[in-house]
Amino acid sequence: MTRRGDWSDRGDQGGDDGSGRGDGRRERARGQGGHGGRGEWYGRPARRRLWRYLTNEDEETGQGLAIGRQPERGRPAFVKLLWIGIWLAYMAAPVSDLFDGDHGTVGTVLGSAGLAAFISAYLILVFRHTVLPLRGAGVLVALGVLMALGIVLALTLGPPWLVLCVYVSVACGAVLPARGARIVIPLVTVVLLAVGLPMRGDGGALVAALLIPSLLGGFAMTGVRQMVRTTKALREARATVAHLAANEERLRLARDLHDLLGHSLSLITLKSELAGRMLPDSPEGAAQQVADIERVSRQALVDVREAVSGFRRPTLEAEVAGARTALAAAGVNGDLSRVPTSHPDLPPDEEGALAWALREAVTNVVRHSGARSCAVTLEERGDELRLTVADDGQGPGGAYGNGLTGLSERLQLADGRLETGPGERGGFVLRAYVPLSRRAAPEAPAASDVEVGP
């Protein structure tokens, strides 16, 4: 079987039939090795996976740490903990001072315990409460304990431990609301000055070096907290909008079915009762009522089919969003900026045909072309609307399969047509045309038809 046959042999909905036949063909192709033909076609999965990993956004692939989402466990939690732990590198000064041997055995043990307690409290505060709102006094008590522990360690062990005040400032910016952080962070910096300036040795120099990091680190974390909370609010709003849209569609379908079937079922019930009463005395009249019941039920069936068909008809707006997601997930640079999602002269049936065409073309690009980029445009051509999908991959080389054949038939039902072929600069181009329903301008009345008053 040639590579061309695989391009379109998928059904008329762009491979959405769920039969799994395409996956079986790909598995058999992998087993053939890399000796040309389809084995060569599927000889690049490692490079494509690497390209997708390097170019896809974490939000689209579902991997990595999503900003604004609370990491409960697993990889997201590890990534966030690693991101926070990187900044613990500035603890090198107190750790080096601790193990220089100048504090004796008791001082080293107590200092190690205090440093471990400080780091644990800092990580818990920043890890758990950056996304959460401030509730209760527990967080404030923890910040107070963290500040007291930093001051005690700095006073007892020397100037290198003043850096702990910078971490206190960062923790305040990470967990406190912006209004409180604007007050607390300068207070922590003042405490740093008050504790560090009277110290002998390098105390004054360290205070001067830590003054700006204390302020900038704290206020920078305030900005990070605001960004995270805003992103979380946007996530929740998007989920709410999606839920409301789904509920609205269900309500619309329920209203349509009620309006369509309410009258018909009531009429069928009445005529059934009437036919039952007329049957003993007037069989002819009962037969007429039964014929009316059949006619009403058939019409109700037609109405329900039309309602469900309209409910399931794809739209350009939905398919453009799906195409953007599919191309991004496949590592293909998709350009859909020139695709308007609505047109005043585009009827619903023609819009559905273009939506099917976009779905089929993007499915071919993602699954079979090996393209790096794909451009989609929608533009008027006279009294027609043309959808163009062009990629820089390897196009088909043989007869069309079920996918493009079914798409051509679907466009013909909408009085449209399908054109495919190689692009001017290589690759493959699909063009789908549908007619526009333009209203002819009313003709001006002739002079002889105008009534002239007396």
- Name which of 329, 394, 388 is nearest 53 in CA terms: 329
Cα separation, 284 vs 206, whole angstroms: 108
- Tens-digit pLDDT profile for residues 136-155: 778 888 888 889 998 898 88
- Tens-digit pLDDT profile for residues 267-323: 788 888 888 888 888 888 888 888 888 888 888 887 787 777 665 667 888 888 888
Band (377; pLDDT cuts 50, 70, 90): very high
Band (389; pLDDT cuts 50, 70, 90): very high
Band (416; pLDDT cuts 50, 70, 90): very high
Cα separation, 163 vs 119, whole angstroms: 12
pTM for the whole structure: 0.45
Our CA angle for 400, 402, 406, nearest 5°, is: 100
Share of the chain above pLDDT 70, in %: 72
pLDDT at 29 over 50: no
Provide the token pair at 163: 């850096």
* Mean of the per-residue pLDDT values of the chain: 76
User: Is the separation of the CB atoms in 307 and 256 below 8 Å?
Assistant: yes
Q: Average pLDDT of 179-186? A: 88
Task: Give me the sign of the Cα torsion angle 125, 128, 131, 132.
Answer: negative
Q: Average pLDDT of 17-26? A: 44
What's phi and psi for 190, nearest 5 deg? Answer: -65, -40
User: Is the separation of the CB atoms in 235 and 209 below 8 Å?
Assistant: no
Q: Give the residue, 29 or 244, on which the prediction is more confident.
A: 244
pLDDT of residue 419: 92
Band (385; pLDDT cuts 50, 70, 90): very high
